[in-house]
Structures are given as structure tokens and as C-alpha cells.
Amino acid sequence: MSNLPDVDELTTDVLVVGGGPAATWAAISAAETGSQVTLVDKGFCGTSGATAAGGNNLWLIPRGPRREESVRESEVAAGGLTDSEWMFRVLATSWDRIELLAQWGYPFPSAPDGQPLRSSLQGPEYMRRMRRKAHRSGVRILDHHPALELSTDAEGVVNGARGIARQDDGRPWQISAGAVVLATGGTAFLSGTFGTNVDTGDGLLMAAELGASLSGMEFSGAYALAPEWGVHTKGRMLQWASFYDEHGRPLATELGLGGRQDAQRVLTQGRRVFARLDRAPLAMRQTMRDAQPNYFLPLDKAGIDPFTTAYPIRMIHEGSVRGTGGLRLIGPDCATTVPGLFAAGDAATRELITGAVSGGGSRNGSWAIASGTFAGRGAAEFSRGRARGAEHRGVATGLGLGPGRAGAPTVEDVVRATQSHVLPPLRSFLKTADRLAESAAALDTLWRDVSEGLAPVPRRDSYKPRQAIAMIAAARWTTAASLARTESRGLHRREDLPHRDHRYDHRILVGGLDEVWTAADPVLPRLVSSESAA
């Protein structure tokens, strides 16, 4: 018999939940202020999450007039829902922080004129350095420690979290903190996209249980293209693709990156599409292979030379990992609507800098750096002078937290049922009021079906019911926000309402668990150019 207590209890100034770029920037930034910091990751910090598995191109622009030009261009592309002040702050902070990453030894390549090229990061290399820097900054890193719920004091101010240690047979832990940063990533609904197996929306659920609101969830239907048998979705290679139907006839698609969306429209109709990278200049082909070896691996294994042979492609849902929605922020320090709780990276809405369109090509990577920095500093400031170890109230009604119930739906049942309303392109890429209403009703029923718990799981897997519940919650918020936006804009494509409607030149808030609500955000977008709103 062990005489260890039933729960591992720890105390810290700032608790960071997550282990990707947003979490590590938050942890390092909080530690820079002298705070004691603890980071808990569901996986292994440095290899978990979407960035570690792939990499990030960044929105990185030196000081000077080009920044304002970029903000103006982005506002138009983003459907007029952005906030220029946030955009300038993100550009300034990510530029400065990348300079630090260079000082920490990241091997940035140089252009022929000797200028460093810093706008692209290799995921494993980047995240290895982030982990090492966090460690050297004194951050206590607890790997394989998924958080399951947040705790509050008697006034409802967040004062820690609870979770389990997966590699210690699911032993429970409780951490008391002066403030908490949620950096748990986006929600990709276990679609199989490379690196997103941990991105199940846990942070959104934990925050919503305390009343947090979300924003931009209707822009969470991002899809990527991969070879039919592959999961690696670095779709930039496809800017050099020609697309064909299954009879080898060329499809009329836009040249460059826009061709991907045309191909997705054809796939959404249930037709097969083939790609061939025959537009890539000969001189560039080896560079493409060197830049993204993972993209070519499944093709090489299948004996396909993608520059000469057309290969079939499929759409894979990437949800809010390359989409936009997440927790609403109410301050420049990335404070959420719950006191003591801050959010960073894909767990927070990125509408402020990317509006209605995908942030996946560069904005999200810069956002993870900047919002991590703001949230880490904000949480450190908030925690200063706050008492630790006071009362810890959990979420009394937190679904999936209690012991399982024989005969209840299994985790697999719930995940499959939720996915059936999210992953098919006719649910999230192209929407109609009828299909959305059908999904909303089915997901409400599913929510009620799990209200008394899921089927039992071994203690070390007790994070899985929470993942399943988080996925239903995220699907319900996305569906509700998509019904509320009765127009098409950016990633939100309504087949029944194909045009933009200026009555929706505002962000849409959503929240609630048993009863899901939506509302217009009273804080209006801030634009530097009037044409963005046109």
C-alpha cells in the first residue's frame, strides 16, 4: 500500500496549461517577470501540438511603413472584422520575440545578401529551443499532465486547476495558482491532421464552465488538402499544382494558392480530385523537397513523383487550428471574461488579427508568440499579491469528470457522433440553414445523452471523456454561431446565403453549455482603412 496522499498538490504563481508555442512563450514571459511558473502539458512539451509536428510561416514585418500597408491589406482580406491596434501590437511583439529566438540559438538561414530569413520556423527545431529556454528560465514543466478542470476561490476568481498524471496511472494533481493561462490549442475534432491529436478544445470547455464567452466560432471550419492516404497538410506545395478530375481532365482552378479552394469546392461535391505539382519550376523542385520533406514522404513511399504524376487528394478538417474561433479576450493582456483566466494561441480568438479568414498561413504563428507573451505577462501581474492555497471550488456539474456509468455512451460513440456533424465538408466547408439546424438538434440530443456521464474508462484515460465532451461543446458553439451569421464571409460559407451582408460587420459571441447563446459583440472592429468595411 502506498502512503502517498491521494492527490499531488503544488503551488505556483502562474499556471500555464498547454505545451505548444503559445504556452511556452507565456511561461517564459511570466518567468521573465520573476514569477514562479508551472506548465502542464497533455503531451510532451516540445513535441505536442500543431506547430511541433510541422512548422510555422510567420507574419513578420520590420518596423516602418510596410507594417501599416500589411495591416491595410489584411483588413480587406479578413472581411473587416479585425482590430488594427491588436494587429500592430502583434507585429511589433512577434518581431522582437523572434530576435530573442535567434539569440537563443535558432539556426535561421540567410539570404544571399547575408540578411537573416526569419519568417519560417521548422517545428521540431523551434519547439526544442522553446522547451529548453522555458526549462532554463526556471519553469517547472509537467509533461503528460492533462488539465481536466479549473478551480476558483469563493469569489469566482480562477485559482488553479486539477488534472491527472497520465504516466502515473492517472494519479490526480491539483495546482494552486495566482493566475492561469489557457494555451490548449484549437479544436480539430480528432480528424487525424498531423499534430492535432491533442487539440480537442479542452481549454474552451474548462473556461466555458466558468462562464467564459467565445468569439469567431463560425470561422472554425478550416480544411486542408493531403494525398488521399496521407495526413500531412502543408498545402503550400499545392500553389504549384494543376488539378484534374478522375478522367484526367484539367479543372478550371485559380493559379497559385487560390487553386486549393477551387479544388476543395469540387471535392465538397463528392467528386475526386487529383493534383500534380507541374507548375513548380525545375530549379525549385529540390528546394521544395528540402523545405517540406514530410509532404513528399507519403508520395515517395507510394512511388509517385508528384511533379510528373497526378495523385488523388482529400480534404481534412483542421477546425480552429487553422481557423479563427476561440475564447473572447477583453484586455490587451489577453484576459478572458473570467477573472484570473488568460488565454493565448489558438485557444483564444484570432479574429482580432485575422478576421473571418484562416490564420493558418502566418497569422496564427505570430499570434501564438505575441499572445503568449501578453498572457504570460498579464497573468504574472494578476497573480502578484494574491493569496495562494485558499479554497478551491471545482465545477460541480463538470460533465465527464465523475466516475463513468455502465450502459452510458462510450467515448468512441460520442467522438464519432460529434465528428459526423463537423468533419464532412457539407457540414463545415459549405453550410446551409437546414443542415446546421439538423446538426444543432442532433448535438443538443447528444449533450443531453451524456449529461449523466460516459461509460467507464481506466483512470489513466480519464482525460478522454473530457475531450469528448469538449468536442460536443465546440461543435455546438460552432453550429450556433454559424446559424447566427446569416451571410457568407471568409471561412463561413453559406450555400443558401452566398453574399456578404453589412448588417454583420461585427463579431459574434457565443457561449453556454446546457443552453447555448449567441450575441453581437458590442466591441466593434477597429480598422485603419475605410475600404476594409466596404
Ligand X SMILES: Cc1cc2nc3c(=O)[nH]c(=O)nc-3n(C[C@H](O)[C@H](O)[C@H](O)COP(=O)(O)OP(=O)(O)OC[C@H]3O[C@@H](n4cnc5c(N)ncnc54)[C@H](O)[C@@H]3O)c2cc1C
User: What three-state secondary structure class fits 340?
Assistant: coil
Q: Which of 124, 361, 424, 512 binds ligand X (CB under 6 A)?
A: 361
Query: The C-alpha cell of 419 is what?
Result: 465528428
Q: Which among 407, 441, 394 is positioned nearest to 421, based on CA atoms?
A: 441
Q: Binding pattern to ligand X, positions 189-208, x when CB under 6 A?
A: ----xxxx-xx--x------
| Entry field: residues in the chain | 534
Binding mask 367-406 for ligand X (x = CB under 6 A): -x--------------------------------------
* Number of residues counted as binding ligand X (CB under 6 A): 45
Non-local (6+) Cβ contacts of 420 within 8 A are none
Work out how close the CB of 403 gets to ligand X at its nearest, in angstroms, rounded to a whole number.
19
Q: Which residues have C-beta within 8 Å of that of residue 223, sequence separation ≥ 6?
A: 264, 315, 316, 317, 318, 425, 428, 429
Cβ atoms of 203 and 184 closer than 8 Å: yes
Residue 395's CB: how many other CB atoms inside 10 A? 19
Sheet holding 222-227, edge to edge: 222-227, 311-318, 273-276, 242-244
Tell which residue, 480, 380, 473, has the closest CA to residue 27: 380
Going residue by residue from 87 to 126, which x/- string records binding to ligand X, judged by CB under 6 A? ----------------------------------------
Q: Verify binding: residue 51, ligand X, rule CB under 6 A.
A: yes
Stretch that binds ligand X, among 21-29, 76-84, 302-310, 425-433 (CB under 6 A): 21-29
Q: What is the DSSP letter of 461?
A: G
Shortest spacing between CB 486 and ligand X, in angstroms: 28
Pick the binder of ligand X from 12, 176, 364, 373 (CB under 6 A).
Answer: 364
Please select the residue that binds ligand X; options are 185, 323, 325, 378, rule is CB under 6 A.
185
Q: In whole angstroms, how close is the CB of 230 to ligand X at the nearest point?
A: 11
Q: Which of 12, 13, 14, 18 binds ligand X (CB under 6 A)?
A: 18
**Residue from 151, 191, 362, 518 in contact with ligand X (CB under 6 A):** 362
Comparison of 75 and 202: residue with beta carbon closer to ligand X: 202
Q: What is the rounded (10 degree) CA torsion for 391, 397, 400, 402? A: 60
Ranges within 231-290 binding ligand X (CB under 6 A): 233-234
Backbone angles phi, psi at 59, to 5 degrees: -90, 95
Among 79, 345, 378, 400, binds ligand X (CB under 6 A): 345
| DSSP-assigned beta bridge partners for residue 341 | 180
Among 230, 298, 360, 425, binds ligand X (CB under 6 A): 360
Q: What is the DSSP secondary-structure string of 226-268?
A: EETT-----GGGGGG-EEE-TTSPBP---SGGGHHHHHHHHHH
Per-residue string for binding with ligand X, 137-166, x by CB under 6 A? ---------xx-------------------
Contacts of 252 (CB under 8 A, 6+ apart): 262
Contact 371, 29 (CB under 8 A): no
Binder among 178, 221, 340, 365 for ligand X (CB under 6 A): 365
Site string for ligand X, 297-336 (x = CB under 6 A): ---------------------x--xx--------------
Q: What is the dihedral of CA 122, 124, 130, 136, to 10 degrees?
A: -140
Among 184, 253, 324, 336, contact with ligand X (rule: CB under 6 A): 184
Q: What does DSSP say about strands 171-182 and 8-17: parallel, antiparallel, or unpaired?
A: parallel
Q: Which of 14, 16, 20, 118 binds ligand X (CB under 6 A)?
A: 20
Residues of the shown chain interacting with ligand X in the complex, contacts defined by CB under 6 A: 17-23, 40-43, 48-51, 54, 56-57, 146-147, 183-185, 193-196, 198-199, 202, 233-234, 318, 321-322, 345-347, 360-365, 368
